[in-house]
Amino acid sequence: MSGLMAGKRGLIMGLANDKSLAWGIAQKLHEQGAEMAFSYQGEALKKRVGPLAEKVGSDFLIECDVSDMDAMDRAFGELESRWGKLDFLVHAIGFSDKNELRGKYVDTSLDNFLMTMNISAYSLVAAAKRAAPLMSEGGSIVTLTYYGAEKVVPHYNVMGVAKAALETSVQYLANDLGPDNIRVNAISAGPIKTLAASGIGDFRYILKWNELNAPLRRNVTIDDVGGAGLYLCSDLSSGVTGETHHVDAGYHVVGMKQEDAPDI
Ligand code: NAD
């Protein structure tokens, strides 16, 4: 197959269904000839991930709960034994107790703080550590973050703190792995209705606010995110690392409500 990604192999972590940001990225990578493996959390998700993987020509499914380091070892072990090398890794994983994605950040429990940090931030570090030895010819690691890391977004709470840790991890990982020509970047996506997003309190209000106030006056789609994912996974971005790239219809540059935005 020809295309930007011809001959490149990568792991997609965090595909849940056809609304997932990971699906937007996987489709763009497939269009450009990438070969992909998909990791999933638990049997229930396997039933959904399997048919989607098939649509993009893959039968390589790997079970991996990213909070279980033995499962991470097994997942990257499977990649090594089947492929021997890896060119890219897409990390599209986040999780928190939805009861704490409403109300106030000050009420975050220690247990949920640690779990959210573990699954949403540390898992990138754990995945990068295991992916790097397989990226013997260089590689690209891409994760997904959100503006709630930079500014307070009501209800995003502990997830915002975890995304701040994730974005800083991108910088430290980029520095650690750069000498091996492994690039590490994040896409800061605008709000999109997905399974994970449905856990965030008043998410519909966030969507509407962004649509009315972003410079492009619309919300982004998983296609928009997919295009940026393709750019960051491919050699088109060969000089880019340690970056948080906003794909949010420009929302992050706006400091106040737009004059033409109605009250909501
Ligand atoms: P999604 O629900 O489709 O994907 C979240 C994925 O995380 C699921 O596949 C789920 O199985 C996986 N996951 C959760 N805990 C896990 C664990 N312990 N082990 C393995 N996998 C686990 O939702 P999404 O919105 O596509 O989320 C993907 C990424 O994009 C997340 O990091 C999210 O924070 C980020 N993001 C989403 C938005 C948005 O508005 N939807 C905006 C910016 C960033």
> Residues 128-150: what's their mean pLDDT?
98
- Please check the confidence at residue 163 and state whether its pLDDT lies above 60: yes
Confidence of residue 1 (pLDDT cuts 50, 70, 90): low
| % of the chain beyond a pLDDT of 70 | 100
CA angle 73, 127, 191 (to 5 degrees): 135
Cα(92) to ligand 1 centroid in Å equals 5
Q: Is the pTM of this model over 0.95?
A: yes
| Closest C-alpha among 165, 214, 220, 218 to residue 191 | 220
Question: Fold for domain 9-249?
Answer: Rossmann fold (3.40.50)
Closest atom of ligand 1 to CA, residue 19: 3
Q: Name the percent of the chain in helix, strand, coil, to the closest 5.
A: 50, 15, 35
Mean pLDDT of all residues belonging to the chain: 97
* pLDDT tens for each residue of 105-135: 999 999 999 999 999 999 999 999 999 999 9
Output the pLDDT for position 205: 96
- Is residue 194 packed enough to be buried (19+ CB in 10 Å), middle (13-18) or exposed (0-12)? buried
Cα(142) to ligand 1 centroid in Å equals 13
Q: What is the interface pTM, i.e. ipTM, of the complex?
A: 0.99
Q: Which residue is it, tokens 């590490």?
A: 184
Mutate to test the pocket of ligand 1, among 68, 158, 194 (most ligand atoms within 8 A of CB): 194
- In sequence order, the β-bridge partners of residue 139 are 182
Mutate to test the pocket of ligand 1, among 21, 117, 141 (most ligand atoms within 8 A of CB): 21
**Marked catalytic residue, from 40, 122, 147, 156:** 156
